[in-house]
Amino acid sequence: MQFGVGSGGLSASNFENQYRSGGLFRSSRRRTLTSDLDPEVAAEFDQLFGNINDTVINGLQVLGFDIAENALDAFRSGTRQIEFGEDEAANQAAVQAYFETLSDDILNILSSYFF
């Protein structure tokens, strides 16, 4: 799975890295195929990202900071790929770690305006 944040908000998709050995007369080839997530899964990730944004903005407003609701419209985050394995707990931990890092990045960006 790969995640990124751009002007349209969170983007998430499946990916598959492929490798084909070239053999004697051809070079080896690598490529990455991407596909859309299941709409229900994509909606859950969008909801989670929206909740993170709202929580950070509301938290700063409660602390008395004057911050607009659209303060994160310009926020961007590079694409990060997470490879899933057989261990469901490890897969869940990897996704959770991504969103924790994303939350920290959002908070750092916003707090840099005030401190």
Q: Tokens 């890295």 correspond to what residue?
A: 17
**In terms of residues, how long is the chain?**
115
Distant-in-sequence, close-in-space partners of 109: CB < 8 Å, separation ≥ 6: 72, 75
CA distance 79 to 85: 20
Per-residue pLDDT of the chain (115 residues; tens, 9 = 90+): 888 888 777 888 888 877 888 777 888 888 888 888 888 988 898 899 889 888 888 888 888 888 777 777 777 888 888 888 889 899 899 999 999 998 888 888 877 777 6
pLDDT at 115: 67
Enumerate the domain spans of the chain: 2-112
pLDDT at 97: 92
pLDDT at 89: 92
pLDDT at 34: 82
